[in-house]
């Protein structure tokens, strides 16, 4: 059994997945738009005007697969009560990833040496997703 995060970007999914592809080397495994759904729109699956928005996406960062969607497409994603943790291979990769995730985001803990990690930092990216990096 696996536990996979499913992130709802509320209308910004494609932008977020592309950001993670560039910032973290994410590999897009699958991306399906609402307009490509075999279900009719009459069933309320897609908000009006959201045909090109992402109904479901799957992408991999390192060895972990994440799932994502635009959900209700209101443009105000809310991510609370969790952080996604990254364990980069070395200090240089940690700095590169942290800097990339910080672009347009908010650093809550700069990368520092701690008693439990040679490098640890926390950042909320431009989409509101909280990340922790440590090694």
Structural domain tally of the chain? 2
Structure tokens at 117: 């990690």
Answer yes or no: do 34 and 93 share one domain: no
Of 49, 76, 103, the residue at which a domain comes to its end is: 76
Any idea what DSSP says for residue 8?
Answer: E
For residue 25, pLDDT beyond 60: yes
Kindly report, residue by residue over 53-91, the tens digit of the pLDDT: 999 999 999 999 999 999 888 777 889 999 999 999 999
Answer yes or no: do 59 and 100 share one domain: no
What is the pLDDT at residue 76? 79
For residue 42, pLDDT beyond 70: no
Range of the domain at 99: 79-135
For residue 33, pLDDT beyond 60: yes
**Cα 124 to Cα 129: distance, rounded to the nearest angstrom:** 5
**Cα 107 to Cα 18: distance, rounded to the nearest angstrom:** 21
Check which CATH number belongs to the domain holding 57 and give it: 3.10.180.10
Beta bridge partners of 68: 7, 57
For residue 41, pLDDT beyond 60: no
Answer yes or no: do 85 and 126 share one domain: yes
What is the pLDDT at residue 85? 97
Of 76, 91, 112, the residue at which a domain comes to its end is: 76
Answer yes or no: do 97 and 36 share one domain: no
End-to-end CA distance of the chain: 26
C-alpha 2 chain-centroid distance: 18
Answer yes or no: do 91 and 51 share one domain: no
Answer yes or no: do 135 and 92 share one domain: yes
Reported as a pLDDT band with limits 50, 70 and 90, residue 46 is low
Q: How many residues comprise the chain?
A: 135
The side-by-side arrangement of strands in the sheet containing 106-112 is: 84-86, 130-134, 120-124, 106-112
Picking from 56, 2, 3, 10, the residue whose alpha carbon sits closest to that of residue 30 is 56
Answer yes or no: do 14 and 48 share one domain: yes
pLDDT higher at 38 or 115:
115
Answer yes or no: do 83 and 38 share one domain: no
């Amino acid at each position: 059994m696996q536990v996979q995060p499913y992130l709802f970007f509320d209308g910004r999914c494609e932008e977020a997945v592309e950001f993670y592809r560039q910032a973290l080397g994410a590999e897009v495994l699958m991306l399906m738009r609402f307009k490509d759904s075999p279900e009719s729109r009459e069933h309320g699956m897609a908000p009006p005007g959201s045909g090109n928005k992402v109904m479901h996406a799957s992408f991999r960062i390192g060895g972990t697969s994440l799932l994502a969607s635009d959900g209700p497409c209101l443009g105000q994603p809310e991510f609370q009560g969790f952080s996604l943790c990254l364990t980069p291979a070395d200090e240089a990769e940690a700095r590169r990833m942290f800097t990339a995730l910080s672009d347009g985001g908010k650093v809550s803990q700069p990368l520092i040496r701690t008693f439990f990690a040679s490098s640890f930092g926390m950042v909320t990216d431009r989409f509101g997703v909280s990340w922790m990096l440590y090694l």
